Amino acid sequence: MTTLDAQALCQGYGRRRVVHEFSARLDRGVVGLLGPNGAGKTTLLETLALVRPPETGRLEIVGTEVRDLRTVRRARQRVGFQPQNFPYPGGLTVEEFLHYAAWLRELPKRRTGAAVAAAITQLELTEHTRSRLRTLSGGTLQRVGVAQALVHDPAVVILDEPTVGLDPAQRVKLRAVLRGLAASRLVIVSTHIVDDVVHTCDQVLVFLAGKVHFAGTPQDLNDIGLAAGGAPTDGHAMSAAEQGYLRLVEKTQGARA
Ligand SMILES: Nc1ncnc2c1ncn2[C@@H]1O[C@H](COP(=O)(O)OP(=O)(O)OP(=O)(O)O)[C@@H](O)[C@H]1O
């Protein structure tokens, strides 16, 4: 059974279509969604996380095809989501907040204590268990955001720009956490940062203007960059993967011009 099977998903706001016929069959591992501002990454992730079910198309999550309120609810229990700008209730402690997240995900009460403890251990939050959210650093808050997304042990974890605002050490640590999570589930992360993708992801989707323009491994992206010469562009040094990404962006913009 495929963990997430999407066929021709469309999503938009009013009459404006932002995601155009997204199709993918995804299983365990880290999938990186890479694209510029406004490409539609958040809209796509919210659709896959069933914050807003797709306008059209077919979405199946761990064998549940999303068709109506009942199936949306069942599929949601298999998905964890960390939104981009999470409205953290600053007065709650980490432990209280994770209990609240477990309740929102309809985790049975008898399993909540163990689930919260497991999420705290997994995200290395033990020393912060009783800290109020408003007192935490950005990096620790990001880890709390990931913990709330996986407290109900979902098969799919969707994280919208989880490395934003992190210092290099925190970024490296979070990448390791994501790799660990992906050993037993599907993790989908959006980012603007090519390096995040190279060091974390098994698969990369380059998303431009609401469509997937490239699907492959980080090495494939690297190879596109190397084929493009791998040389600095406009005097700015870049990695081969960054070159590959920019090549794809330029090609798409050229084709649309
Ligand atoms: N609630 C909304 N109502 C109307 N338009 C929206 C809404 N949210 C996003 N959009 C528009 O949809 C398009 C895609 O936005 P989206 O946030 O999905 O892109 P993104 O790739 O996640 O961007 P970023 O990297 O800046 O977060 C943008 O043009 C945005 O203005």
DSSP codes, 109-137: HHHHHHHHHHHHHHTT-GGGTTSBGGGS-
CA separation, residue 177 to residues 12, 91, 152, 180 (Å): 32, 26, 17, 5
Is pLDDT above 60 for 208? Answer: yes
Cβ burial of 14 (10 Å; 0-12, 13-18, 19+) is exposed
- Ligand 1: residue whose CA is nearest its atom 4: 13
Q: Is the ipTM above a cut-off of 0.90?
A: yes
Q: How confident is the model at residue 86 (pLDDT cuts 50, 70, 90)?
A: confident
pLDDT value of residue 231: 55
CA 58 / ligand 1 centre spacing (Å): 22
Residues enclosing ligand 1, CB less than 6 A? 13, 18, 35, 37-43
Cβ burial of 108 (10 Å; 0-12, 13-18, 19+) is exposed
CA separation, residue 85 to residues 95, 138, 206, 235, 249 (Å): 20, 12, 22, 34, 26
Q: Which of 86-90, 190-194, 226-230 has the lowest mean pLDDT?
A: 226-230
pLDDT value of residue 161: 92
Which of 17, 19, 43 has most ligand 1 atoms within 8 Å of CB, for mutation? 43
State the pTM of this model.
0.93
pLDDT value of residue 55: 95
Whole-number mean pLDDT of the chain? 91
- Ligand 1: residue whose CA is nearest its atom 14: 40
> Residues of the chain with pLDDT > 90: what percent?
67
CA 37 / ligand 1 centre spacing (Å): 8
How much is the average pLDDT of 41-59? Answer: 96
